[in-house]
Structure 1
Amino acid sequence: MTLTLIIALTLVCAVTYTFEITFGLAGTILMLMALSSFIDTKVLVIYSILPQILVATIGLYRSPRTVKIRFLAGMLVYASAGSLLGLYLFYYFSPEVFQRLLALAITLFGLYLVVASRSFKIPRFVQRLLDTIAGVSQALFGISGPIAMTRLLGSFDNKLVIRNYAFAFFLSLNLIRGSSYLAHGTITAEITRAMLISGPVLFVVLWYSNRLHMHVNEILFRRVVSWMILVGGVSLLMRS
């Protein structure tokens, strides 16, 4: 990866992950849309571990303490079970079929959220089902944001609480993903160089960008997140 591409990557990530630290999702999706024509998608996905961990860590550190470990642990237990199921499906079930079903589900969730009232509640059994599906999707495709955010929007009314639980959930999954990358030598010298150059810049940008969340009202937060879930589902449908 040339220095010019690394600079472009840094600038794009500064914008897309500012969006993520403000609204709690979509940084990686937007980055892939902007750069996948210039940089290999696999390289971008591996690189994304850095800004995703930065977003979650800074967002949680610079916010009031709203995450209850017991609640988060419940989400992670079901997501972990879903991840194991996802690994099983990876070997014994057509990923293409699951991707179509997942894309359809995300699209339907997005449509519902867009037309739903400002606040709604998801039954407990559906919450656990969504936690499990998020784990399955993460194991198969590295995507869990739309499912997890749908679950959180239906569980809490406060935007800061929703965002912080999303960050804690994603941080846990990304630490596992990062450990796997290190264990298997997935992070190449090229990706490491890009991380070392862009990392300090992104840290400073995201440190101050976190303030933007405080200026977003509850209605706008839910509206933007709902539309991003819908757009994510439609884009996944188009690729499946």
Structure 2
Amino acid sequence: MALMLLTLVCILTYSFEIVFGLAGTILLLTILTWLYEAKTLVIYSTLPQLLVGVIGLARSPRTVQWTVLAGMIGFAALGGVAGLYFFYRAPAGLFQLLLAAVITLSGLWLVLAPGRFRLTTPWARVLDTLAGLSQALFGISGPVAMTRMLATFPDKTTVRNYALAFFLALNLLRVAGYVLNDTFTPDIAQMMLVSGPFIAVALWFSNHLHFRVNERRFRQVVAWVILAGGVTLFFR
């Protein structure tokens, strides 16, 4: 019964992510932490996140320039190293407050002035680094990364595809870390084996919904999710 519910929730939440490019794991944790430990869900979430990235990119026009993506990931990796340093040596409370303020202000600007927020290259690199820093400290990079994508790329499919490719790379690194540290328990492996095929089939067909969402609605939904993510971070 628990696995059936997990599979159904993942189908719904990660279908949202494959359409809009973010929030699948946040929604999963919000809905199912009463049934599973948060740590278990975070580890398990690597499977649906990898499926979202692979299926979404495979069934979309080729809009990602890998040299651009490599630069983004490089700065995010630097931010991740800094995040790990602060995680072990500095109180994270102040940084979390500042990050929440940045995300909330970004979301508010995207909601109130859609299409007017544009980044110069230096500011784009700052957000790339901040995304990696946030991922290392809190396990969340979606709001920061999507703010950067919306303010950089011209159309919804390019925005989403860069987000999927960016998160796919970060999740591959996360999987490597889990494997090296023997983090995947037999119970989590069973959860993945049972639910994975159903989620993959659902995502395969859900991907086409992205192309049915108009440009304005896509940006509105993502902007509101970013704003909500920033506000939520104040209380995390």
TM-score, normalising length from structure 1?
0.96
Q: d(CA) in 2 for partners of 1:38 and 1:99?
A: 27
Q: In the alignment, what sits opposite 1:171?
A: 168
Residue 81 of structure 1 aligns to a residue in which SS?
helix
Q: CA deviation at 1:192?
A: 0.5
1:124-169 residue CA offsets vs partner (Å, 9 max, x unmatched) = 1110000000010111111111000000100011100000000110
Q: 2:45 aligns with which of 45, 48, 52?
A: 48
Alignment-derived partner of residue 225 in structure 1: 222
**Residue identity matched to 2:20:** F
The separation in 2 between residues aligned to 1:118 and 1:218, in whole angstroms, is: 11
Alpha-carbon contact 1:59-1:167 (below 8 Å) kept: yes
Q: Which moved more, 1:48-57 or 1:84-93?
A: 84-93
Partner of 2:158: 161
- Residues 15-40 of structure 1: CA distance to partner in whole angstroms, max 9, x if unpaired? 00000000000000111111012210
The match for 2:234 among 220, 231, 237 is: 237
Q: How many residues align?
A: 236
Contact 2:109 2:117 in 1 (8 A): no
Deviations 1:1-22 (A, max 9, x none): xxx1111110001000000000
Asked whether 1:60 is paired with 2:25, we answer: no
Provide the rounded CA distance (Å) in 2 between the counterparts of 1:103 and 1:47: 26
Q: How does 1:133-148 map to 2 (within 5 A)?
A: 133-148=130-145
Matches within 5 A, 1:44-123: 44-123=41-120
Q: Percent identity over the alignment?
A: 56
Q: How far off is 1:118 after superposition?
A: 3.1
Q: Which residue of 1 aligns with 2:210?
A: 213
TM, length-normalised to structure 2? 0.98
Q: What amino acid sits opposite 1:150 in the alignment? A: T
- 8 Å CA contact 1:118, 1:219 repeated in 2: no
Give unmatched runs, 5+ long, in structure 2.
none
5+ residue gaps, structure 1:
none
* Aligned-partner Cα distance in 1 for 2:18–2:153: 18
- What is the alpha-carbon distance in structure 1 between the residues aligned to residue 77 and residue 235 of structure 2? 28
CA distance in 1, matches of 2:116, 2:202: 32
